[in-house]
Structure 1
Amino acid sequence: MKKPALKHIAYGLMLLSTTLFSTSCSKDNNSGKSRLQVALTDDPGDYKAVYIDVQEVNVNYNESDDNGWQALPGVKKGLYNLLTLVNDQDTVLADAEIASGTIKEIRLVLGDNNWVVTNEGDSIHLQTPSGQSSGVKLKINMSVTEGILYKLLLDFDVAKSVHPAGDAGKYILKPVIRTVLEAQGGSIKGAVLPATLPTAVLVLNGTDTVASTYSGIGGGYLLKGITAGTYSLHFIPTDTLLSSAVKDGVVVETGKVTAVDTLLLQ
């Protein structure tokens, strides 16, 4: 049942079968995990630029335990000009697998290299109160479900965060940040057999491919971050002795994992 429109996708996936098979195997070991993207955006302020020095993003599942902080891997450290992140623009600071459960708090850790550029063009170092040296702690208290992709938006309010100090020409940074945590669509989970070789699994909306992956150990697959709707799943085996298959009418709901019955290719 291979459709001509899918052949080039399948062939491209086959060329990467070894790598993707290894990747799929590692993903299968992430059972009990959710995926979290942390993004930064801004409400405008009356300056030419405001640069913050992002160093870490931490999460805590127990707000009463200050030793329970866990650093998110792969944070994109560096300077970010908040005033370029307005009008619904944002930038992703981290994209990581995390344990499912209830996130109590998140902490944004900044370095010392924070600056404001005034409307007169003066670049002034932002002083940070000593009490915030361990990071800006933000209450979340929201659950994340296994197998779902979430996006946490840190909405930085520049107008309320940057303050002129008593001394002329000095400014203080006291971050005021609003948090928004939302599920990014839903997920599709299932298995395809036999599992001797990986099978390409494609999610189609009509003729458009919206997501794809390879089956891993035991034939399992998981596709995340799919917009709510009804899709068809196309299974294209790398084992040329097996035929492709299609499963129609797969319904995806935001914040939920759609379980698909195990498929046996013949």
Structure 2
Amino acid sequence: MSFLKPLSTIALVIMAFIFIQCSDDNVKLTTPVKIRLTDAPAQYDKVNIDIQSIQFHSSNDDTDENGWQEMDLLNAGVYDLLQFNNGLDTLLVDQELPSGTVSQMRLILGDNNSVVVDGVSYDLDTPSAQTSGLKFQIHDDFIAGIEYKLWVDFDAARSIVKTGNGKFKLKPVIRTFNEATSGSISGLISPAEAMPTIHAVIGLDTVSTIAEENGKFLIKGLNAGTYKLSIEPIEAYEKKEVEDIAVTIGEITDAGTISIEATVQNN
């Protein structure tokens, strides 16, 4: 009897180990995900986008037959993109999602899309956005336990097209970036009345913004490298270029105060 008792104890330990191991195998790994909406400014009064859903295309087993999974959108409805520029953003998604490889995301829009020009509101025609969604490429991983932060940068200026009959269409220009793989450039335009568009140029790539009323600007989501700032003010001021702006991942490079000269008037 003394010999059988240790054997039964060992058997129970082995069975418990197997049970725990099987339980661990059934645990689904998750990743905390935050997705924010931001915008490159545009010369409109408002750009209203009706966001009804956001989805991602993943390799995990919880997607539908087409590989898409719904996210928990915090607030469905109309967003004025022009409220979220020069470093401002708004949180769209904040949830735990299954870990895995993500290839695409898409925004599904409703019917209440419009642009306001000189105080007049015009409907935005967005047929493809309402059916298949506004798709953008991600090709990234949701790693278990590591928070994933993604910004959806909606370029309002390049996304709105005026048609020949006085109507407006939405042809979205969207880029995405995450905090771990991008840097930023900030600066101050003097005088602020120059109201320039600022382009950060590296090779064939350009990312743009418009300075705020106080002259400040911030361009986010830049890859590491050395950039040229191409500054295009209103007609009363001269264009300007600033070379050798070094961008480092995870940091904001301060370009300092950039002075713009007034155009010389010939009498």
TM bracket (short chain):
0.5 to 0.7
Please give the per-residue CA displacement for 1:220-261, whole angstroms capped at 9, x wherever unaligned: xxxxxxxxxxxxxxxxxxxxxxxxxxxxxxxxxx9xxxxxxx
Tell me, in whole angstroms, the C-alpha distance in 2 between the residues paired with 1:107 and 1:57: 6
What is the SS of the residue equivalent to 2:88? coil
Which residue number corresponds to residue 151 of structure 2?
153
Deviation at 1:183, TM superposition (A): 5.0
How big is the alpha-carbon RMSD for the aligned residues of Structure 1 and Structure 2?
A: 2.5
The aligned counterpart of 2:56 is 59
Q: Confirm whether residue 175 of structure 1 aligns to residue 151 of structure 2.
A: no
The alignment covers a number of residue pairs equal to 154
Is 1:45 the equivalent of 2:21? no
Cα distance in 2 between the residues matched to 1:50 and 1:77: 16
Q: CA deviation at 1:130?
A: 3.7
Q: Which residue of 2 aligns with 1:8?
A: none
Partner residue of 1:139 out of 130, 137, 140? 137
Query: Could you tell which deviates more after superposition, 174-183 or 31-40?
Result: 174-183
Structure 1: 4+ residue segments shifted above 2 A: 129-133, 181-184
Structure-2 change in CA distance of 1:66 and 1:42 (3 Å) = farther
Task: Report the CA distance between 1:86 and its aligned residue.
Answer: 0.7
Matches within 5 A, 1:64-143: 67-118=66-117, 120-130=118-128, 133-143=131-141
Q: TM-score, normalised by structure 2?
A: 0.54
Aligned partner letter, 2:114: W
TM-score (norm 1): 0.54
The one of the two structures with greater contact order (alpha-carbon pairs below 8 A, sep at least 6) is 1
SS at match of 2:87: coil
Identity value in percent: 45
| 1:130–1:103 Cα change, 3 Å | closer
Larger Rg: 2
Unaligned runs of at least 5 residues, structure 2:
1-25, 182-249, 251-267
Counterpart CA distance in 1 for 2:65 and 2:44 is 35
Q: By how many angstroms is 1:113 displaced?
A: 0.4
Secondary structure of residue in 2 paired with 1:141 = strand
Q: CA deviation at 1:79?
A: 0.8
